[in-house]
Amino acid sequence: MLYLVPTPIGNLKDFTFRAVETLQSVDFILCEDTRTSSKLLQHYQIQKPLTPFHQHNEHKIVEHLVQQLMAGKQIALITDAGTPGISDPAFLLVRACKAAGVPVTSLPGATAFVPALVNSGLPTNRFIFEGFIPLKKGRKTLMDHLANEERTMIFYESPMRLVKTLELFKSTFGPERKAAVSRELTKMFEENITDTLENLILHFTTKQVKGEIVIVVAGKD
């Protein structure tokens, strides 16, 4: 069995009893960064071997992992923060497991875009998740595709590119389009701001921004 186990996006208390029990029961745990995951495991007194699994090695070790699962190993996959497969490694391994007939179980848990969306005050009945937008190639194509999107749009972004991305959204959707920026979710300095793209640019241009960021943009009227 492969277990996909969401991890806290900030506050370590946002971890379920089932997640702890699952990590305690498996043979070993796949993780993005052993240093980051070691802190979580130490906090919950979980003593299990950690194996690196990230975008740089996932293609190389997927077949080996499937073979171990077929041999009877119980494996859990976690990420540095959030749900595996949501802008994080998991897809390749899950697909390979499905093809090989290996059972996969995904536990419910923390995902950054959900609290950002419901906190934004923007429509939640219909939305699309775009994750991180391309840095160069495909960036304009994506914006052209989304220019007439009527559903609420959700993006992930780094603090270094926040203002630049907001300016891109302004040029695509217009300065008066409503949007929300959430950062440091579940942490002490959590910030959630909903305003026009124009005003959000002004706000974040004048301050130093830290933490992972979720941007929610209203769809076209």
Q: What are the pLDDT digits (tens) for 146-189? A: 999 999 999 999 999 999 999 999 999 999 999 999 999 999 99
pLDDT tens-digit map of 112-156? 999 999 999 999 999 999 999 998 888 999 999 999 999 999 999
C-beta separation of 161 from 215 below 8 A: no
Burial 160-180 (b: 16+ CB within 10 A, else e): eebbebbebbbebbeeebbbb
pLDDT tens-digit map of 73-89? 999 999 999 999 999 99
Look up tokens 């992930």; give the residue.
Answer: 156
CATH of domain 113-217: 3.30.950.10
**Which candidate, 18, 186, 162, places its Cα nearest to that of 3?**
18
**pLDDT value at position 135?**
87
Range 35-40, long-range pairs (CB < 8 A, 24+ positions)? 36/80, 37/7, 37/78, 37/80, 40/7, 40/8, 40/12, 40/15, 40/78
Give percent above pLDDT 70 in the chain.
100
C-beta separation of 122 from 182 below 8 A: no
Boundaries of every domain in the chain:
2-106, 113-217
**pLDDT value at position 38?**
96
CA pair distance 5, 16, nearest whole angstrom: 10
**pLDDT value at position 137?**
85
Architecture of domain 2-106: 3-Layer(aba) Sandwich (3.40)
Report residue 54's pLDDT band, with 50, 70 and 90 as the boundaries: very high
Q: 179 pairs with which residues across the strands?
A: 195, 217
**pLDDT value at position 42?**
97
CA pair distance 161, 166, nearest whole angstrom: 9
C-beta separation of 10 from 187 below 8 A: yes
**pLDDT value at position 136?**
83
**Residue 21 pLDDT more than 90?**
yes
C-beta separation of 204 from 181 below 8 A: yes
